[in-house]
Amino acid sequence: MEHPTTHPLNDKRIISGWTFFDWANSSFALVITVAIFPIYFIGVTDDYINIFNYQVSNSALYAFMLSAAYLIIAAFSPLLSGIADYGKKKKFFLMSFTVLGGVACLSLFFFKGMENLLMGSIAFMLGIIGFAGGYVFYNSYLPEIVTEDRYDVVSARGFAMGFIGSVILLVLCLYVIQNPGTFGFAEDSSVTVRLSFVFVGLWWLGFSIIPFRRLPKDQGGVPMKSLRKKGAEELRKVWRSLKHQGNTKKFLFSFFCYSAGVQTVLYLASTFAEKELKFDTSELILIILILQIVAIIGAYLFAGISKIKGNKFSLMAMLLIWVGICIYGYFIESQFQFYIVASSVGMVMGGTQSLSRSTYSKIIPADTVDTTSYFSFYDVLEKVATVFGTFSFAVIEQLTGDMRTGVLLMALFFIFGILILLGVSIRHAKNGLAIS
């Protein structure tokens, strides 16, 4: 079902509003999933936890929690995307997932350790679901608000806004954590750490008001009771279309492979550094701040390279760097070496995610109006890849007791992604031609 565009393309106010969603929710990605919560979780839980009479390490449990949350959202987001396209409910679902994630962050304040492990685990997983679920609808706005020649730069701008906003909040959280006495808390109190989770929730919910006000409104008009059936039909229509788009399918398969590596490295880097290299909280947060700053540079750098050499060249270069990162990461023994790895990850992290999103926007049919349903396959693959990567990592660590072997496995995911990407053709924004 077609929905004509009722808003101007390349509108500065709409674009600015769209990028502010990255500013708002990237605080969760940085503070909760990367910088503070993983370290806090490892610190307040036992080294080994009894799950159904089976001993699981706390770091493996953390990875399993990530896998479970992404598996849940992967199961439901395709149907929600179909509903959003047919029923014009894109903003409604974007807002719903945002509220879910923000409230989950606020509730993490009450997670103090083993005595309420179940509550903390559920809140963390709901936060992941809110964060990941919203991205299905956020990403799908890109081809609806800008012309194709601006996909790369606007996508990079969104990621850059996310990096900047999340760094600002992380610095605030770090100051509060490092100076508890200033705020009347005991030096050994966990309250300041748990307050950072509240800050994330308030930041996420508060700044999301900007995109909710500026993004195109839902048109509505379809009764809610008929949306589920029609949404499923919309999704099947896009799937039938994809079956005949070999180039798009190859890109999605490549994206699945290297996303398994990207997401796993990003989510589990902190636990690796804490357990294998004995970094303390302040050192890890400093590394992550450096990583975020470098990521801003990387997002724009590889967007510029893609403008000159094409998206495919830029993506291939980054994936080769990822392979080198994983191989080097297996052998690192010192904290200085980890700084090198973190800087390298930062350089390719933003560029890989940003260019993947804009590249897919170029590969899907130029005249499509079912953007959310098309992007659901993109987002679901990323989520399933996250499940596959983090679950594989957790299983390997649980079986071997060694996180390094899991890091080496990630290199294989990137290599498979490179091999598949070799056969993908991508339109060049300058002339509309497919280039290999």
Q: Which pLDDT value is given to residue 102?
A: 97
Closest CA relative to residue 326, chosen from 403, 385, 426: 403
Q: Which pLDDT value is given to residue 98?
A: 96
Which regions of the chain are under pLDDT 50?
A: 1-4, 429-436
Q: Which pLDDT value is given to residue 371?
A: 67
Q: Which pLDDT value is given to residue 434?
A: 42
Q: Which pLDDT value is given to residue 1?
A: 38
Q: Which pLDDT value is given to residue 2?
A: 39
Domains in the chain with CATH codes = 12-216+225-435 (1.20.1250.20)
For the stretch 89-140, pLDDT in tens is 788 889 999 999 999 999 999 999 999 999 999 999 999 999 988 887 887 7
Q: Which pLDDT value is given to residue 112?
A: 92
293 Cβ contact partners less than 8 Å away, ≥ 6 residues apart: 163, 167, 346
For the stretch 303-335, pLDDT in tens is 888 888 888 999 999 999 999 999 998 898 888
Alpha-carbon separation of residue 153 from 114, 134, 302 (angstroms): 45, 21, 10
- Secondary structure (H, E, C), the chain: CCCCCCCCCCCHHHHHHHHHHHHHHHHHHHHHHHHCHHHHHHHHCCCEEEECCEEEEHHHHHHHHHHHHHHHHHHHHHHHHHHHHHHCCHHHHHHHHHHHHHHHHHHHHHCCCHHHHHHHHHHHHHHHHHHHHHHHHHHHCHHHHCCHHHHHHHHHHHHHHHHHHHHHHHHHHHHHHHCHHHHCCCCCCCHHHHHHHHHHHHHHHHHCHHHHHHCCCCCCCCCHHHHHHHHHHHHHHHHHHHHCCHHHHHHHHHHHHHHHHHHHHHHHHHHHHHHHCCCCHHHHHHHHHHHHHHHHHHHHHHHHHHHHHCHHHHHHHHHHHHHHHHHHHHHCCCHHHHHHHHHHHHHHHHHHHHHHHHHHHHHCCCCCCCHHHHHHHHHHHHHHHHHHHHHHHHHHHHHHCCHHHHHHHHHHHHHHHHHHHCCCCEECCCCCCEEC
